[in-house]
Amino acid sequence: GRLGDAERVLKTGDAGLRLEQLRAQLAAVKGDTKSASRQLTALINRDRRNPQLWAQAASVEYQAGHRRRAANWFAAAKQLSPRREDWDEAIEQIRNELIPESGVEANSKSVGPGWREFNSKLVGEVRVSPAWTVGASMEVNRVALTNFNGTIRRGAMSANREGETARKLSVELYRSERNGAGASYSWLSGRGRTTVSGAYVKPYWEYMEGLAAAGTRSRTAIEHQQPLGKRGAMWVAVHANQYGLRAVSNAGRTSGFTGGTSLAIRPRWIAQYGVDRETVHSRNTLPLVSREVHAFTGATSGDWKRKLHWEASAGYAVDRLGGRGPYTSGSVVWTPSPKLRAGVWFDR
């Protein structure tokens, strides 16, 4: 951590060098990575045989998002101090992050005798600069409904930016039978994070009618997430929606809010309460129904031999406008390598 880095700095070199290293460390802690990088580069030019300087500079470059430079500078530090295994781990982690992300997902869903789906999805993401990544996805869904059997498709492209001040920007393009677009922007506010987002005619398959008739949803939303002490968190969001179908651009309008809080009771055990409210203002062909669901959940998770991770949760939900009942979910995910993952999920 930062304190450990500072302690190592105090134990190296002469007093003047130690002071200049600490100044660079302070600049990095304050988020001024440009100043910290300039100071450390000047120190390296004065003492190129000091492995701690190279490692400290590598940490700053990583903080600034310059992953390739960070990996090269950790490698330079490792050459000067071969016994530092933690630098090997840092180099491996950074190089794994630089590998383009890609994956294939497949799942089967049975909602009832008249509703079955088999979905496959190809996703990929690559970093194109220290701050920017671009991604794409293609999804194919084989649907068997009471009144529809066929294959439907949707795709998306995205560009994402994360700045040094933890501000995040994402822009997306959607493709199905209609073209759509969306964007989100988030920033730190106090100790929490606020996100503003919008989407126009994004493909939406949560309704049977949407599966059969090219459903879409346009949404504007604002959300805030806030930690509560060391063990708790809360979130709240408000949104407005317009649903569409192939032949009906305005199949329904709604607005609503979600919110909740969670508390870590003990390591790996979490208690959570959430509310999901959506009010229907108009509907045309879509069977939209207003709801106000209050859900109480207990969840736990664990690892087995580091490569197998499991999660399980159970709870009870009450819709104040009608309906109630228990629910359960769980997953087991096997990760034999940082770039390969397989798992099974259930939800009922």
Per-residue 3-state assignment (H helix, E strand, C coil) for 194-235: EEEEEEEEEECCCCHHHHHCCCEEEEEEEEEEEEECCCEEEE
Q: Which of 4, 2, 55 is nearest to 31 (CA)?
A: 2
pLDDT (0 to 100) of residue 66 = 80
End-to-end CA distance of the chain: 42
Burial (CB < 10 A; 0-12, 13-18, 19+), residue 205, is: buried
For the chain, what's the residue count?
348
**158 CB-near residues (< 8 Å, 6+ apart):** 134, 135, 136, 170, 171, 172, 173
Contact assessment for residue 175 and residue 138, using Cβ atoms and an 8 Å cutoff: no
Average pLDDT per block of 10 residues along the chain, 348 residues long: 47 67 86 86 89 91 82 89 88 78 82 90 85 92 94 97 82 96 92 94 94 96 93 96 95 98 92 98 93 97 87 97 94 80 81
Predicted structure pTM score:
0.73
Task: Give the integer Cα–Cα distance in Å for 309 and 103.
Answer: 18
Q: Quick one: CA torsion of 283, 284, 285, 288, rounded to 10 degrees?
A: -10
